[in-house]
Structure 1
C-alpha cells in the first residue's frame, strides 16, 4: 500500500470513529474524544418557550398529576432523580421533542416556536439524565430507564394521551421502549434519523464497540468530569444492551414517519452508511402506517440542517389526527 492509500485509509477510519461516536455516544462532548474543545466546561441550558421560566415545585413519582401545568420549567422526580421538563402551552395533541445523544432540550430551541405557531399544540421538551438541568444518574445507558423518566414526566404534567413524540438519533431507543410500554399514549411518532432495532445486528454491534473502545479507554485515564462519565456510561454494557434492543419491535398501532438524512451518521463509511439506510427501510417495511422520507442534502443533524422539514412532517401528522 502506498503512502497516499495509507493516508486515505487513516482518514476513513477517523471519519468512521467520529460517526460512530456521534451516533452512539453523546455528541455534546465529542470534542473531548477528538482531542479538541473543553469537555469540562458546563453547558448553558436555556428553556424553550415564549417566556423565561421560573422553576416549578418538584413533584414525586407518586404525586398527583398537574391538570394545567404552567409554561416553563418543571422539575419531575423519578427513581430518586430530578429531571427538567419544559412546557409551551397549547392544545392537544401534545408534541414531545426528544433530543439526540448528548443534546439537551436546547437542540429544539429554533423549532419549538415554529411548531407552536404552526400547530397551536402544547410543546414539551426535556433534559435526559445528566444533561441540561437534570440530575446525573450513575449507571450505564438504558433506553428503558430513559423511557420510564419520560413516562413519569408526562404523567406528572397531565399528558397521558394523544401525544406525538419526535425523537432524534439515540432518542429512537427511548421512543421504542416508550411506545412498547405506552401504545395508548402515542397518536404518532416522527423518528428523525433515529436509532432503530434493525440497525443493531451482532456484526454491527461488534464493529461499533471495536471502533469506540480505544477512545473510551483514553477517557477512563483522564480526570473525571460529568461529560466523560456520560461517555463511559454510554459505552458500558453496550453490546448486551443493544442486542436486547435489536429484539424489540414497534407497536403496529402507532403510526411513524421516519426522516432519514441523505448523508447518514456514517458519511465517509459506505458500508455503515448503507447498513443505516437498509435498517431504516427495514423498520418502515416491518409494520403498517410507516412512511420513509429523505432529508435531501442533510447530515445526521437534521433538526439543525432541515428544521422546516421536521416542522412540516410534524404538522402533517397533527393534521392527520384531525
Structure 2
C-alpha cells in the first residue's frame, strides 16, 4: 500500500526551519518578508531564501504541494556552498500568479530566481517530483546555466498516465480544500507530460537520479525504474540509484542519500 502524506501534516512537519536560513519561527518577525527575500518576475513576486556562499550554487525545486521547507534537512549545505530555495507562485508568502502554471512557465520563474540570486554562473539543480520535471525542462532550455542535476524521484511521462477526468477530479479536490496554488499547477499535468514527451535529451552534465521503489511492486517498479533510466540518454556522467529505505519523499525520509548524491556532484 502506498504511503500518503497529507498536505496539512507535511506543513505541520515543516513548521520551523534550521537557522541556516536565518528565519524566525515567530510569525511576528517581519524580517521574513524583506525585499531581499522577494524576486520580482514582472507580474508577481516569489519568496526566496538564500544562504551561504562558495564556488557552487545549489538550487532546490520542490514538488506539487510543497514549499521550500521540504528541503530543510539539506540546508546545512549552506555552510560551504550557496543554497537557494524558494516558494513557487501562490505558495505563501509568494504572490499568486494569473498565468498558466505549466512547467514552461514554472521553469521561467526558476530562471528569474537563479538570475536574481545566484552568485555563480552555473548552478546545481535539485528537483523532487514535479520539481524534477521543472528542472528537466529548465536544463534543456538553459544548458549554459547548469553545472549538474540531481533528480529526486522525479515525475516522468513514461510512467505517469492521466486522463482528463482524473486531472479534473484532482483539481476539483484541491480547489475544494482552498489550495488554489496547488490546483493551478495540477490542472497542467496532462500538458506537462506532453511537453516532457517532446523534450530533447538533457545537456551532457553530471546527472544523478534517485528512484524510490519502496511503495512500488512488480510492473510498477520496473516501469518507474525504466522511466527514470531514460534521463541518462546521451549523458556521459550518469548515475541511477534505487532505494527501498524511503518513499517518494527521499529528501525527508533518507536525507543522507540526497546529501551523498549532491556531494558526488560537487566532486
TM interval, shorter chain, is 0.7 to 0.9
CA apart distance, 1:246: 1.3
Query: Match of 2:162?
Result: 205
CA apart distance, 1:273: 3.9
- Match of 1:151, SS? helix
Contact 2:23 2:32 survives alignment (8 Å):
no
Query: Which moved further from structure 2: 122-131 or 245-254?
Result: 245-254
CA apart distance, 1:210: 4.5
CA apart distance, 1:126: 0.7
Say what the alpha-carbon RMSD is for the aligned residues.
3.0
Among candidates 169, 172, 175, match of residue 135 of structure 2: 175
Query: Match of 1:313?
Result: 261
CA apart distance, 1:109: 1.3
* TM-score scaled by length of structure 1: 0.70
Among candidates 46, 69, 73, match of residue 106 of structure 1: 69
1:103-156 CA-to-partner distances (Å, cap 9, x unmatched) read 11111112101x234xx1111111111113211123443111111111111111
Contact 1:55 1:75 survives alignment (8 Å):
no
Query: Match of 2:28?
Result: none
- C-alpha distance in 2, partners of 1:134/1:100? 16
- C-alpha distance in 1, partners of 2:217/2:22? 43
Query: Which moved further from structure 2: 267-276 or 99-108?
Result: 267-276
CA apart distance, 1:300: 0.6
- C-alpha distance in 1, partners of 2:172/2:189? 14
Contact 2:204 2:235 survives alignment (8 Å):
no
Contact 2:143 2:203 survives alignment (8 Å):
no
- Match of 1:125, SS? strand
Residue 257 (structure 2) pairs with residue 257 (structure 1): no
1:176-196 CA-to-partner distances (Å, cap 9, x unmatched) read 121122211111001000123
Q: Are residues 286 and 279 of structure 1, via their aligned partners in 2, closer, same or farther at CA, if it must alter by over 3 Å?
A: farther
Number of residue equivalences = 260
Residue 52 (structure 2) pairs with residue 92 (structure 1): no
Which runs of no fewer than 5 residues in structure 1 stay unpaired?
A: 1-11, 32-36, 59-72
Contact 2:47 2:87 survives alignment (8 Å):
yes
Residue 95 (structure 2) pairs with residue 116 (structure 1): no
Contact 2:210 2:243 survives alignment (8 Å):
yes
CA apart distance, 1:98: 1.4
1:184-215 CA-to-partner distances (Å, cap 9, x unmatched) read 11110010001234435xxx233xx4545444
Query: Match of 2:20?
Result: 49
Query: Match of 2:110?
Result: 150
- Match of 2:111, SS? helix
Contact 1:166 1:192 survives alignment (8 Å):
yes
Contact 1:139 1:233 survives alignment (8 Å):
no
Among candidates 183, 186, 191, match of residue 240 of structure 1: 191
Contact 1:74 1:84 survives alignment (8 Å):
yes
- Match of 2:190, SS? helix
Contact 1:140 1:236 survives alignment (8 Å):
no
Query: Match of 2:27?
Result: none
- C-alpha distance in 1, partners of 2:188/2:61? 23
Q: Are residues 76 and 216 of structure 1, via their aligned partners in 2, closer, same or farther at CA, if it must alter by over 3 Å?
A: closer
Residue 45 (structure 2) pairs with residue 82 (structure 1): yes
Q: Are residues 219 and 179 of structure 1, via their aligned partners in 2, closer, same or farther at CA, if it must alter by over 3 Å?
A: closer
Contact 1:85 1:125 survives alignment (8 Å):
yes
- C-alpha distance in 2, partners of 1:48/1:126? 16
- C-alpha distance in 1, partners of 2:133/2:98? 19
CA apart distance, 1:48: 6.1
